[in-house]
Structure 1
Amino acid sequence: MAAAPRSRSTFLGLPPWPERQTVARALRTETVGGLVLLAAALMALVWANTPLSSAYTELRDLHFGIPALGLDLSVGHWTSDGLLTVFFLVAGIELKRELVVGELRTPATAALPVIAALCGMAVPAAVYAVTAAAGGGSLEGWAVPMATDIAFALAVLAVISTHLPAALRAFLLTLAVVDDLGAILIIAVFFTSDLNSWALAGATAGLGVFYLLQRLRVRGWWWYVPLGMAIWGLMYNGGVHATIAGVAMGLILRTSRDEGEQESPGARTEHLLRPFSAGVCVPLFALFAAGVTLSGDALAQVFTSPEPLGVLLGLVAGKILGIFAGTYLAVRFTRAQLNPDLAWADVFGLATLAGIGFTVALLIGELAFPHSAIGEHVKAAILIASLFAALLAALLLRRRNTVYKRLCHQEDLDQDADGIPDIYQRGPGGTP
């Protein structure tokens, strides 16, 4: 007798109730942070293009710190190397959670978002490389258009009042997590210089102690905060970008609960730090990174110089093509089938939204083109590309908003008022 055919999994189906709760909490904070980020970016642009621009430059370049420890940095560097470490710490926890209990825990569930994210990084890099090479420009900025800014994307959704269903929001978050991992690896591998082996050895030893404290179930911030600061300082002096320290500690933090624990250390830390990261760290970085002079000449350079043009095309065309084509091919050649309530137009809109590459793109742009006119033009290209991607995504997603509202209403309906939507309490696999 022939074996029964295997059932096909559903792509962009309703996520499990615990996963949906986690995603909702994370995205709620990121949405508010994204609105603050938008305000900070606008403030930076206005400030840098007024007669007070000299004050902006002086404040950004003001140095303070502890020179004896090798930590005499400008305000701009404190925000990019210091405050963004908190952002990457949260990203590390998020990645660990996805790998342990989330969408990336099994090859079957991880395949589609990972393939989509990898294509969404590779194609923009290739678009940049081809554009820069054709124009005789530098290939140093190949990694700039690879990043997606989840907070900025969610702020756009909030501004246009679009109700994305839980499956699309979860897919967007997973894309961003894998995207962050790619950015982390790129920063660690390609943007390190003048390595100090003793400082790196000290940072590695500190991470070993951090891991041991987690294994021994030691609790108390007074252990981890001083240790984390020491690891950060050693990593910075070791020649590796200091944000890598945040990622490493995030990946070490335990994300599974012990018996009797209400929350894991990773969940507690994320709950405490995510609002600070989204509402303070990232907006302050944007304030001192997005202050680009938008003169007629600077805007012309975005469309005529190969490096900024490569970033612009990579973020807009490359991201859309990479994510959409990668997702379509992955579904086409696996046993997955698209959720019948959704359409490929929804995936295309999500891919367009992923072209908003603000925070990490600006960071990599600074690392690729430090203190140069090209770097300023690349920043302008990132801002213009993010604006264009936001407007295009708003147009595409708003056209489907009636469908999204209906799906969201079905997902949130709780007629028995028990705190769990009814959709999770009926049908096969509906038990919360």
Structure 2
Amino acid sequence: MADNRRSAPFYMTATTQFGLEEVLAQELRDLGAKVEKVGTRAVEFTGNKQLLYEACLWCRTAMRILRPFADFYARDEKALYREVSRLNWQDYLRPDQTFAITAVVNKSSFEHSLYVAQLTKDAIVDQFRNRLGHRPSVDVKNPDIRLHLHMIENEVVLSLDASGESLHKRGYRQGTNVAPLNEALAAGLILLSGWDGRKPFIDPMCGSGTLLTEAALIAQRIAPGLYHQGKFGFENWPDFDAALWESVQLDARQMRLEDPQAYLAGSDLSREYIELARENVAAADLEDFIRLGVRDVKEAKAPAKEDPGIVMMNPPYGERIGEEAEMEALYKTIGDTLKTGFQGYDAYIFTGNLEAAKRIGLKTSRRIPLYNGPIDCRLLKYELYQGTRKVKQE
């Protein structure tokens, strides 16, 4: 009986950041999911309970994995309250558990998502009070059960959140510099580059080391969810299968490769950042795989004994007033470093300062639109051909 239930496929949605949807869809396909639809910041797919657990553990670019369980049309407040009340909430939530609702409202006659969340909460709580005489409490910070309500043009979809804490918060990050990349975005940049996990991966402006840490997790076949803090959301669901979850984690631990698979190295001008990067790398238990050093970007060059690979950096964008000249000089230096120090490499610059990026002085072969938080960014690819300089020297 349990095995049939375990293997029956159902619908799920994985959320991500703008520009990473295709990367996430491929991650899900690699896990055996059937991708149904690639939308904006979301991928809809089908799979069974094992796949749900694996998606939470393995997806590097997902923010949340949601399991939709109800959908209906709500013309107004009364209809929303009535439709929510019709569901049997004891199937999803115990009275001794805490819960929270996140509502997203688009193009609907309801103005405020907070109001929609409040109304939904009231309907749930009233049902428990009427039927059992006591009710689950709301805990916005750290609930046992997270519910997502998505309303578009008054069509409502209710989902259970399988993730718990957002999946991009890996838990290895001890400290960060001013504007760190989030881990899912860092992994997304690496996967967008098509890096094979074998060739050298160099980050000459590595800050607190997020790109390098994510590169090491990819190269060593380490599931990012193994670092997840606290419980995953699905561990509090009524249908949680502890034995299945145990075996999914065991499989993931056995997938890890112990021997270094690629030459990974990073440097930064700031000693403080490199110390932070060392702490993060140690917290992720990856010291054996990543080399770090204090170095100005203009001193950076490819390792002599290695074949060409990828050089990737996320330089500052210069959001403060009066930084234009400083930024232009920095981006010119980056261009010079790439030309002289990394021949034969593919270079990727992730930046929100497209004006300064012109000073790199190289022709881009790809420009991928992405966001870093609210900042409109591009991942710029430069192919650094070998041989251009050698001819001149002869």
Would you say same fold, with TM above 0.5?
A: no
- Greater helix share, 1 or 2? 1
Larger radius of gyration: 2
Query: Whose strand fraction is larger, Structure 1's or Structure 2's?
Result: 2
Task: State the TM-score, normalized to the length of structure 2.
Answer: 0.28
